[in-house]
Amino acid sequence: MKNTEYNNIKIKKISGAIGAIIEDVQLDENLDENTFNEIYDAFLKRQVIFFRNQNFIPESLLSFAKRIGTPIIYPFVKGLESFPEITPILKKKTDVNNFGGIWHSDTTYQDEPPKGTMLYALEVPEFGGDTEFSNQYLAYESLPDDIKIFLGKQKALNISGKVKVTKTRSDVMKHSSVGLKIDELEAIHPVVRTHPETKKKSLYINEAHTTHFVGMTVEESTPILEFLFKHQIKPEFTCRFKWERGSVAIWDNRCTMHNPINDYHGSRRLMHRITFQGDKPF
């Protein structure tokens, strides 16, 4: 039975807050415009969408991705030789750290952070390696009004070299670094962001990259930020996805955070990642 919200796709929500699996769709095929439009609508409404049993090669992965947005090159890790917009994210059996293994929104240290990210699973561990996602619309909406007013006036500095996230990159950087200094990038963004398509407001800070409010010191900012970092990931805002070989996730970096869980030591995991060009947050 099809979901009554759509005519061409069937979706299955995986939590009350965020996320949906879209069933019985092959993304490497030439999807008609109506089907693709419903997929994109689900992406905006559920913030992260998942697919099972996909069969991409780099050409078809990149071809489908271009319907979502404009693929861009990730700044720190080498892309595939013939497809530089596709970044292989490999955790070897001997690696200890999980790439990006901390709650974050991708590359908020850039002036124009990515619109979204697409991840395709080629090799997965027998168990573990799930990814959590958190709805930052809900994180903002559930705050008291006086805190919303305060945060609505604030901007914050985001950096690429914050210690916690730098550690998570260390193993991948050993074999795939492009040579960029880990602390080379930084950007200032509003703490409360307005989504350019849905027009909804969300919290736009994260533990991995945000250091302090502009006009305040790190010491002054830390108690407020620590409260918000914990608030952003309350269980009622989240979902959790179990990867299988051939799984795909596409998430909206403008209103979500994610956290890949590092609980599969001694196993190999390989993903192909594409990030999409974004715009300047407002």
Q: Is residue 3 part of a domain?
A: no
**What is the percent of the chain with per-residue pLDDT over 70, rounded to a whole number?**
91
Summarize pLDDT for 96-109 with one digit per residue, the tens. 887 778 999 999 99
Average pLDDT of the residues in 184-208: 97
* From 169, 193, 254, 273, active-site residue: 273
Concerning whether 272 is annotated as a catalytic residue, the answer is no
Is pLDDT of 182 > 70? no
Concerning whether 273 is annotated as a catalytic residue, the answer is yes
Q: Pick the residue with more confidence: 177 or 234?
A: 234
Mean pLDDT in the chain? 93
Print the domain residue range for 225: 10-276
pLDDT of res. 1:
41
How far CA 181 is from CA of 90, 160, 166, in Å, comes to: 20, 9, 11
pLDDT of res. 96:
87
* From 46, 95, 106, 272, active-site residue: 106
Q: Is residue 138 part of a domain?
A: yes
* From 169, 195, 254, 258, active-site residue: 258
Concerning whether 104 is annotated as a catalytic residue, the answer is yes
Q: What pLDDT band is residue 127 in, cutting at 50, 70 and 90? A: very high
Is pLDDT of 35 > 90? yes
Residues 21, 228: Cα–Cα separation, whole Å: 29
Is pLDDT of 250 > 80? yes
Is pLDDT of 201 > 60? yes
Q: What is the CATH number of the domain that holds 212?
A: 3.60.130.10
Residues 144, 210: Cα–Cα separation, whole Å: 22
- 96-124: buried (b, 16+ CB within 10 Å) or exposed (e) per residue? ebbbbbbbbbbbbbbeebbbbbbbbbeeb
Q: Is residue 269 part of a domain?
A: yes
* From 46, 95, 104, 189, active-site residue: 104
Q: State the number of CA atoms in the 13 A half-sphere of 68 facing the CB.
A: 31
Q: Is residue 282 part of a domain?
A: no
Q: Count up the domains in the chain and report the number.
A: 1
Summarize pLDDT for 130-180 with one digit per residue, the tens. 999 999 999 999 999 999 999 999 999 999 988 767 656 555 555 555 555
